[in-house]
Structure 1
Amino acid sequence: MNNPGLFQAKWNLGRLTLCNFLALGLLGFWLWPAGQMLCVIFDEWLFHLLNDPLATSPTWLHVWAVASLRPFDAVVGVILLTLLIRGNWVFKAVQVRQAFFGFLAILLLLLFIRMLFSKLAAHMGWQHSSPSMVISGAIQMSDYFPGLEKTWELKDRSSQSFPGDHASVLLIWGMFMSVFARRIGQFVLIWGLALLFMMPRLVAGAHWGQDDYIGGVLLALLALGWGYYTPFAANVSERLLRITGPVFGWLQRVPLISRLSLVRAAQ
């Protein structure tokens, strides 16, 4: 590896086992009848706490309606990407490109794991409808903004809400960044943003809390374990660095773009 301190092409069996153990532990707790009952009790309380004010507070309604639109997901993606590739924040400027490709590799692995787990969930009958479709008196934002639902895909319900795929992406970003973060301020900002951007689906009732803190965390742990604590991220990022080298070499001659940490020469 060009930078053995960022990704290492070897197996970390201890951390890999821990990630898998925690993921299986979460699944086991969720499948345990008493654990499921506790999740439902907590989730119903959380849903009413977040969803009920939509009926009485126009500000609360409009803020979360905008945050529940599909285009807002793109805004979130830009914010997370900006922090990932910002040189000399979590990663040194010369490490940014390698960090970007490593995260991309783990994100693709997450999507693959999510596909397999969704098939398992459907086969085992673990799927359920979102709280906005189940809880009596739930406020559906699409009733207030029918035009937004049709035009901008306002997300406030789903017949298959488990696991929380939106949350799993935010969580894997948070976990990945946390592996390399060194300052308290970095951890606070990383997890503050991750939790904040998970809120729209919970406020709108598109997901139960357990879709995120069980399903989303489970998927993110598996992706982190098999992506970062194995040679996977190291090998994929190294190959992508080689393949894209000529492209970035050309971009380094383009004014303004050449100043981006992502474009500068990588280690």
Structure 2
Amino acid sequence: MKNLRLSAILALNALGLALFFSWYLPPGHGYWFVIDSNIFHFFNQALVKSHTFLLLVAVTNNRVFDGISLLAMGSLFFSFWRKESATGRRRMFIMGIVMLFCAVIINQLGHLIPESHVSPSLYFTDIYRVSELLHFPTKDASKDSFPGDHGLMLLIFTGFMLRYFGKKAFGIAVIIFLIFMMPRMMIGAHWFTDIFVGSLSIALVCLPWVLLTPISDGLISLLDRYLPERSNTNN
């Protein structure tokens, strides 16, 4: 079993590294830049073809929409929490703490990558900016969009769902990830590769060492041992 887990960890790491270097090594990022450019310009042109699409993109990149993404993740987590006993609920609460802790550490490690760039909305000229087309508070640009922090957080959540709650929870988490990352690309605040190369490669390299080794279970057990219990746990 240990050998199988180590093989899985190394395979996922190799996949993540291959993905990253396929983007990082070629001059001008090779074919990845063509993909990035085509995706950005497709959505950018759509902004002026449909006012409904323009409004949708503006609203889904408002800060309130970030709160909805947290609500979506919380709802999935709560769907399992409510079925648990008092002991199980305590363990899930601690799992949430561990997940947040790991997310902070992995995100910081991701920013050690010697690469940064502006979002496509700042890179290209003669393009449309949602903030200029509408008087509506929305995020349509970033001076440092690589890797995608929001995408990485969602991928870490997705990994924890697979590890502790199975394939169905994983499938729902993937849908949440896609729903809440697409607006970032549609508005031009992120390149496609910020998320599907940057965020994904970091998750593939770091997350297996947390979830496929005793680290996550050990942290949960450690906090379970030392965090005080509520006197009304059974209520």
Which residues of 2 match residues 9-48 of structure 1 at below 5 A?
12-33=5-26, 36-48=29-41
Give TM-score, length-normalised by structure 2. Answer: 0.85
Deviations 1:4-51 (A, max 9, x none): xxxxxxx94223222322221122111231792111111111112223
The one-letter code of the counterpart of 2:199 is G
Relative distance call for 1:88 and 1:118 in structure 2 (3 A) is: closer
Look up the match of 1:235.
218
Structure 2: which 5+ runs fail to align? none
Q: Secondary structure at the match of 1:41?
A: helix
Is the CA contact (8 Å cut-off) linking 1:85 and 1:97 kept in structure 2?
no
Superposed CA deviations along residues 79-138 of structure 1, whole A, max 9, x for unmatched, are: 10110231289xx624454345335424422322322331332xxxx2111000112333
Task: Measure the CA separation in 2 of the matches of 1:193 and 1:46.
Answer: 20
- Which residue identity lines up with residue 135 of structure 1 in the other structure? F
Would the aligned equivalents of 1:202 and 1:209 in 2 still touch at CA under 8 Å?
A: yes
Identical-pair percentage? 30
Question: What is aligned with 2:63?
Answer: 70
Contact 1:163 1:212 in 2 (8 A): yes
Secondary structure of residue in 1 paired with 2:127? coil
Contact 1:106–1:228 (8 Å) recurs in 2: no
> Which position in structure 2 is the counterpart of 1:214?
197
Alignment of 1:107-146 (within 5 A): 107-121=100-114, 126-146=115-135
**Equivalent residue for 2:141?**
157
Residue 93 of structure 1 pairs with residue 75 of structure 2: no
Contact 1:64 1:203 in 2 (8 A): yes
Closer, same or farther in 2 for the Cα pair 1:30/1:85, shift >3 Å? same
Q: What stretches of structure 1 of length at least 5 have no aligned partner?
A: 1-10, 149-153, 254-267
The equivalent of 2:75 in structure 1 is: 82
The alignment covers a number of residue pairs equal to 232
Q: 2:158 corresponds to which residue?
A: 174
- Where does structure 1 differ by over 6 angstroms across 4 or more consecutive aligned residues? none
Matched residue type, 1:250: N
> For the residues of structure 1 that align with 2:223 and 2:78, how far apart are their CA atoms?
16
**2 CA distance for matches of 1:106 and 1:47?**
32
- Following the alignment from structure 2 to structure 1, what is the Cα–Cα distance between the partners of residues 99 and 209? 8
Letter in 1 for 2:186: V
Q: CA 1:87–1:117 in 2, change beyond 3 Å: closer, same or farther?
A: closer
CA distance in structure 2 between the partners assigned to 1:112 and 1:60 by the alignment: 36
Give the Cα–Cα distance (whole angstroms) in 1 for the partners of residues 91 and 128 of structure 2: 44
Residue type of the partner of 2:121?
S
Q: Look up the equivalent residue of 1:170 and give its one-letter code.
A: L
SS in 2 for 1:53: helix
Give TM-score, length-normalised by structure 1.
Answer: 0.76
CA contact (8 A) 2:99 2:157 kept: no
CA contact (8 A) 1:86 1:96 kept: no
Is 2:58–2:136's contact at 8 Å kept on the other side of the alignment? no
Distance in 1 between the 2:127 and 2:55 partners? 17
1:202 aligns with 2:185: yes
Q: Find the aligned partners of 1:215 and 1:100 in 2 and give their Cα distance.
A: 29
